[in-house]
Amino acid sequence: MVDGFRPVTLQETLNIRSQYNCTPIAGGTDLMVQKARGFALKPGFEQPLLFIGHLPELQKIVIKNNQIHIGSGLLLTDLLNSEIIPEIFKEAVRLMASPPSRNLASIGGNICNASPAGDTLPYLYAVDAKLVLKSVRSERLVSIGEFITGPKQTALGQDELLTEIIIPNKIFNVNYYKKVGQRKGMSLTKAVFLGMTDIKNDNLTDIRIAFGSVSPKIVRSREIERTIVGKPTFEMITAIPEILAKYALLIRPIDDARSTAVYRKKVSLRLLEDFLRKIDKEK
């Protein structure tokens, strides 16, 4: 039996991927925990591992055509050290796990883990990130929303590899990010809210709103966002009840070991309200 592969190049990696059923692994901060058996035993992986964290092709971060291309093998720490990653995205990354985990965990891993509580996801949904999926036979571009099909479920083909994440090289005027955890550090998310907006001449020209941990997938509604865009900022306060009511229908959290459905829903809507009130104050 083959325990694992450690290819040297991306091309070699894709070849292996096309020939074997295997599990790509970068830092392993999610996979090693999910497959742990305890008792100092090796984790119980059903398939051979394909080590990709070291591949040089996955370590680049560049701006092309006003888009930021992020290699999927980049560590969370690399994102924090980068000068071109937008600050609000860094804020999300900074509140993830602990420094040792951030020195191991890759951005690609956090996306492919497809957790409803994945901390990079609200931002990626909000900016409609595009993912590059490569295989020996093809290369395709899918949006983050298409890629994640459910909790722990993705559209990644058996021979494909997530190689790159593409986000716009853009910073919004107003940025709001709040992760609610059980404690201040090293905590999984009870609920997370991200809001970004552009304001020109007292009018909202763009708005992005995303909620995490409160639904099987990240909640983002372009439809509701479209109804807000174009409004003057001074009308935000009066629009709040209607906007909250619309999002309330989409937020369907659960009770679990970390929090309650009631709290998650309330806190999400309160964060949204707080964000909308802040817009009202922006001129």
Partner 1 sequence: MRESISKPIQRVDGSAKISGEAKYIGDMHFENMLFAKTLRSSRVKAKIKSIIKPELPEGYFIVDKDDVPGFNRMRTVVSDHPLFAEDNVEYIGQPILLVVGPERETIYDIITHISIVYDDLEPLYTLEEAEAKSTVFTDYHYDKGEPDKAFAVAVTIIEDEYHTGYQEHVYLEPQGMAAEYRDDTMFVYGSMQCPFYAEGALTEALGWDAKRIRVIQTVTGGAFGGKEEFPSLTACQVAVAALKTKRPVTLIYDRDEDIICSTKRHPSIVRYKAALNQNNDVIALDVDVLLDAGAYNGLSPVVLQRAIFSVTGVYNYLHLKVRGRNFMTNNVPSGAYRGFGAPQTIFGTEMLMHNIALKIGVDPLDYKMRHMLRRGDPTCMGGKIRDIVKLPEIITRVTEMSDYRNKVQNNVKYKGIGASLFLHGCGFTGNGEQTIQGKIILKKSGENVILKVSSTEMGQGAETVLRKIVAYSLDLPIEKVLCEAADTGLVPDSGPTVASRTTMIVGGLLRQACLELKDRWDEAEEFEVSRSYKHPDFLNWDNDTFQGDAYPVYSWGANVAEVEIDPVTYEINVKKISAVYDVGMPIDETTLRGQMQGGIVQGVGWATIEVMTTDKGKLIQKNLTDYKVPTSMDIPKIDCEFVSNPYEFGPFGAKCAGELPFVGAPPAVVAAVSNALNVPIYSIPITPEDLMEMDSHEN
- Contacting positions for partner 1 (CB under 8 A): 33, 37-41, 178, 180, 182-188, 257-260, 262-263, 266-267, 270-271, 274
C-beta separation of 130 from 117 below 8 A: no
Report the alpha-carbon distance of residue 24 to residue 31 in Å, rounded.
10
Report the alpha-carbon distance of residue 267 to residue 151 in Å, rounded.
22
Strands (E) in the chain, as ranges, are 4-5, 23-25, 49-51, 61-64, 67-71, 130-134, 139-143, 148-150, 153-154, 161-168, 174-181, 189-200, 203-212
How near is the Cβ of 257 to partner 1 at its closest, in Å? Answer: 4
Nearer Cβ to partner 1, position 8 or 262?
262
| CA angle centred on 141, ends 135 and 143, rounded to 5° | 130
Rounded to the nearest angstrom, the gap between the alpha carbon of residue 154 and the centroid of all alpha carbons in its chain is: 13
C-beta separation of 194 from 167 below 8 A: no
Nearer Cβ to partner 1, position 87 or 274?
274
Nearer Cβ to partner 1, position 41 or 249?
41
Report the alpha-carbon distance of residue 233 to residue 216 in Å, rounded.
32
How near is the Cβ of 95 to partner 1 at its closest, in Å? Answer: 10
How near is the Cβ of 85 to partner 1 at its closest, in Å? Answer: 22
How near is the Cβ of 216 to partner 1 at its closest, in Å? Answer: 19
How near is the Cβ of 136 to partner 1 at its closest, in Å? Answer: 36
Nearer Cβ to partner 1, position 52 or 196?
196
Nearer Cβ to partner 1, position 16 or 272?
272
